[in-house]
Amino acid sequence: MQVTRPLRTTAPAALLTATALLALSACGTSEADSTGANGSGSGSGPGKTVEVRIPDPGNSGVLALGKKDGSLDKALGKVGAKVKWTGSAGPFAPAAQAMNADQLDIATGSITSGITSLAQRPGFRFFTAVHPDAAGEGILVRDGSGIESVTDLIGKKVAVNQGGTGEYLLLKALAKAEIPAEKVERVYLRPDQTAAVLNAGQVDAWAVWATYAVAEIGGGKAHFVADGAAIGSDNYSLNAVRTGFAEQHPEIVRALYDYLHEASAREKKDPAAYLNVFTDVGPTAVTGKAKEVQTEFTAQGGTVDPIGPEDIARFEAVAAFYAEQKVTKEKVDVAAHLLDVEKLT
């Protein structure tokens, strides 16, 4: 397997991961310490409000609007809960570590990054599924690069996030094109480091998802040489809950699911209403062509739904693929870490 060590564009990956974990946990420690082992920022007696620790959603999306208009706290208030926003949303791996350390209760990630986290010491379970993003993820190349197909990646450098969506998309694309993985050089980078590296020509392509692809495509600098549909991606987006929290507060997990399900359906119908929730200027704002691209991706995307038998079969296929590609040492039993949210009360 031909793999390149991470290019150091800002800071070592281990340091950045630790920083992300600290950011996620910084707001949750004092509450957990003061209220006992449940880590939810609440007591268990009558009249107590349970605090649900969720990474801050930033400027766009269902959770951002729910934070701004108070609708999320209103929905959770019906089951005696409210949100405690902690750190900021980012890669799933540090969020999984934070849940394992009882410093976070809810996080969002992909099945791909979820599997690599489950292969370690999982202290969480997945309780919702959003179908793979056929339009918003794929293999991104610079306009004018001369790369016109997956086959053209042979002998090239492709940036991926190790064990997550990027590595999966690249390996899946190569397998579909019957190209041995060692024919393409994988460069392991954090997603927030990669745009500058791609645009500087230090890598030839980037296996990536909408969160980072929108700015590049919207800026007229890049395009997908193969999107999720062409790749045949099974890369679901999932919501995870800390296992202890789900055991103690199943009714809150169910209420959160109900909110996310209904709000995601509204977002799909009117994507623009969920962009630039707090500001329409600055680095977190989506403007110009990028706004059009994001709106189109969201309109084509899925909604937050319960995890069904067909979804589980596709999760298991990803787990088997990861084991086959030696991303994990063995096949991870994903089904053992799922919740049937419709049975929670």
Could you read off the pLDDT of 51-84 as tens digits, one per residue?
A: 999 999 999 999 999 999 999 999 999 999 999 9
Give 181: exposed, middle or buried? Use CB within 10 Å, 0-12, 13-18, 19+.
Answer: middle
Statement: residue 18 has pLDDT above 80: no
Dihedral of CA atoms 17, 199, 230, 337 in degrees, nearest 10, equals 0
3-state secondary structure of 302: coil
Specify the DSSP class assigned to residue 304: -
- Secondary element (H or E) of residue 183: none
3-state secondary structure of 72: helix
- Helix boundaries (H) for the chain: 13-25, 29-35, 62-69, 71-77, 92-100, 111-118, 165-176, 191-199, 210-218, 228-231, 243-248, 250-269, 288-300, 309-324
Confidence of residue 161 (pLDDT cuts 50, 70, 90): very high
Q: What's the whole-number mean pLDDT along residues 293-305?
A: 96
Q: What's the whole-number mean pLDDT along residues 237-257?
A: 98
Q: What's the whole-number mean pLDDT along residues 258-284?
A: 96
- Residue recorded with tokens 């793979």: 132
List, as own/partner pairs, every contact residues 37-43 make where C-beta atoms lie below 8 angstroms and the sequence separation is at least 24, other chains included: 37/102, 38/244, 38/245, 38/248, 39/102, 39/103, 39/105, 39/242, 39/244, 39/245, 40/105, 40/245, 40/248, 40/249, 41/84
- The closest of 316, 334, 313, 335 to 324, measured between CA atoms, is 316
Statement: residue 5 has pLDDT above 80: no
Confidence of residue 23 (pLDDT cuts 50, 70, 90): very low
pLDDT for 34 equals 30
Supply 31's token pair.
């509450």
- Residue recorded with tokens 């209403």: 273
Q: Higher model confidence: residue 24 or residue 84?
A: 84
pLDDT for 126 equals 98
pLDDT for 46 equals 57
- Secondary element (H or E) of residue 108: strand 106-110
- The closest of 162, 168, 150, 163 to 205, measured between CA atoms, is 150
pLDDT for 87 equals 82
Confidence of residue 90 (pLDDT cuts 50, 70, 90): confident
Rounded to the nearest integer, the mean pLDDT of the chain is 88
pLDDT for 31 equals 31
Q: Cα–Cα distance between 60 and 271 in angstroms, integer?
A: 10
pTM recorded for the entire structure: 0.84
Sign (positive/negative) of CA torsion 117, 84, 266, 217? negative
Q: What's the whole-number mean pLDDT along residues 218-222?
A: 94
Give 257: exposed, middle or buried? Use CB within 10 Å, 0-12, 13-18, 19+.
Answer: buried
Statement: residue 42 has pLDDT above 50: no
Q: What's the whole-number mean pLDDT along residues 152-181?
A: 97
3-state secondary structure of 259: helix
Q: Cα–Cα distance between 343 and 339 in angstroms, integer?
A: 9
Least reliable range by pLDDT among 81-90, 129-138, 255-264: 81-90
Confidence of residue 333 (pLDDT cuts 50, 70, 90): very high
Specify the DSSP class assigned to residue 197: H
Statement: residue 195 has pLDDT above 70: yes
Q: What's the whole-number mean pLDDT along residues 237-256?
A: 98
Give 202: exposed, middle or buried? Use CB within 10 Å, 0-12, 13-18, 19+.
Answer: middle
Confidence of residue 7 (pLDDT cuts 50, 70, 90): very low
pLDDT for 43 equals 42
Q: Cα–Cα distance between 242 and 42 in angstroms, integer?
A: 15
Sheet with strand 237-242: strands edge to edge: 106-110, 237-242, 124-130
